[in-house]
């Protein structure tokens, strides 16, 4: 029932000026996908609680934002930038906003930190951390070990050589850190804001496959049958490159209403 109510609310996001959302302490609330813009009269994320916003949401406007101690707002990765506008707010110590990119996989590259336009008009805070790090690149694929050679017989057949191992794959590059645009009044204290715009680390190199062992030596009655040669190990992979860091731009503004 609760999810159905959320779906109904989010289907008409511009009509949400009177909507209030609260995330209870030590809990997690994930908003379902809806419109691209959400307008809230009041948003409260209590201490040690987390609010997760979907990837399709591109803008959140809040008339009053309350974040408890160590409260988190997580914004899902997307190639579209995100805009967060706060008219009034109280942000306790340890407040955290994240638009981190997604880690890469064998099927898709790492995703960059989501660009964030953060507008704080009349907000009191002791410290706020904003995380726009890029996603980590996928690790290179491991090479397969070579098959072992077969032993030869004493009266017929020769031992075969082991097969060479496969070469390892290279790690994929990390994604770029996001771009942060901070719109705050001229009297905003920059010491209360911490931000991380670091590009994602490159993926680890794959491990090369080992060469297969040669066919075994047989101890025969009159003589010994020679064994096969071991295969060669595959070539080692290379680690992926780190993604470039994001950028920071601070803009002074005069407070205005939503």
Q: Helix H segments across the chain? A: 2-10
d(CA 91, CA 66) in angstroms, rounded, equals 6
**In this predicted model, which residue has the larger pLDDT, 4 or 38?**
38
Main-chain dihedrals φ then ψ at residue 223, nearest 5 degrees: -160, 170
> In degrees rounded to 5, what are phi and psi of residue 39?
-115, 125
Q: How far apart are CA 226 and CA 219, in angstroms?
A: 9
26 sits in the region (left: phi over 0; alpha: psi -120 to 50; else beta) called left
DSSP state of 81: -
User: How do residues 218-233 score in pLDDT, each as one tens digit?
Assistant: 666 555 556 567 778 8
**Can you tell me the distance from the alpha carbon of 178 to that of 52, in angstroms, rounded to the nearest whole number?**
18
**Tokens in use for 65?**
């934002």
Query: What is the tens place of the pLDDT at every residue in 65-112?
Result: 999 999 999 999 999 999 999 999 999 999 999 999 999 998 999 999
Q: How far apart are CA 114 and CA 81, in angstroms?
A: 6
Domain layout of the chain by residue ranges: 2-138+174-205+241-252
CB 38 within 8 A of CB 75: no
pLDDT in tens, 182-211: 999 998 998 999 999 999 999 999 988 888
β-pairing, 95-98 vs 72-75, is parallel
Burial group, residue 224, by CB count within 10 angstroms (0-12, 13-18, 19+): exposed
Q: Which of 5, 6, 58 is nearest to 32 (CA)?
A: 6
- Name the helix (H) or strand (E) containing 90: strand 82-91
Strands (DSSP E) found in 199-238: 218-219, 224-225
* Beta-sheet pairing, 95-98 with 50-53: unpaired
Inform me whether the pLDDT recorded for 258 exceeds 80. no
Tokens (6 digits) for 160: 């075969």
Specify the pTM.
0.78
- Cα 173 to Cα 206: distance, rounded to the nearest angstrom: 13
- Across the range 157-178, mean pLDDT stands at 85
Query: pLDDT value at position 9?
Result: 43
pLDDT of residue 123: 94
């Amino acid at each position: 029932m609760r999810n159905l109510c959320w779906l109904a609310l989010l289907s008409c996001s511009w009509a949400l000026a009177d909507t209030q959302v609260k995330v209870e302490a030590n809990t997690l609330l994930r908003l379902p996908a809806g419109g691209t813009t959400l307008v809230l009269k009041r948003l409260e994320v209590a201490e040690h609680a987390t609010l997760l916003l979907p990837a399709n949401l591109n803008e959140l406007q809040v008339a009053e934002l309350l974040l408890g101690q160590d409260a988190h707002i997580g914004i899902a990765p997307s190639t579209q930038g995100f805009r967060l506008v706060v008219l009034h707010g109280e942000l306790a110590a340890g407040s955290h906003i994240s638009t981190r990119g997604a880690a890469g996989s064998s099927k898709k590259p790492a995703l960059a930190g989501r660009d964030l336009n953060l507008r704080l008009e009349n907000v009191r805070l002791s410290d706020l951390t904003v995380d726009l790090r890029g996603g980590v690149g996928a690790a290179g694929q491991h090479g397969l070990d070579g098959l072992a050679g077969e032993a030869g017989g004493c009266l017929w057949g020769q031992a075969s050589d082991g097969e060479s191992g496969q070469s390892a794959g290279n790690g994929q590059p990390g994604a770029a850190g996001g771009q942060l645009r901070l719109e705050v009044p001229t009297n905003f204290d920059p010491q209360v804001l911490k931000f991380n715009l670091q590009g994602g680390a490159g993926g680890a190199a794959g491990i090369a496959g080992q060469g297969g062992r040669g066919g075994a030596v047989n101890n025969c009655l009159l003589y010994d049958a020679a064994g096969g040669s071991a295969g060669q190990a595959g070539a080692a992979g290379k680690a992926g490159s780190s993604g470039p860091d994001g950028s920071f731009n601070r803009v002074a503004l005069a407070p205005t209403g939503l």
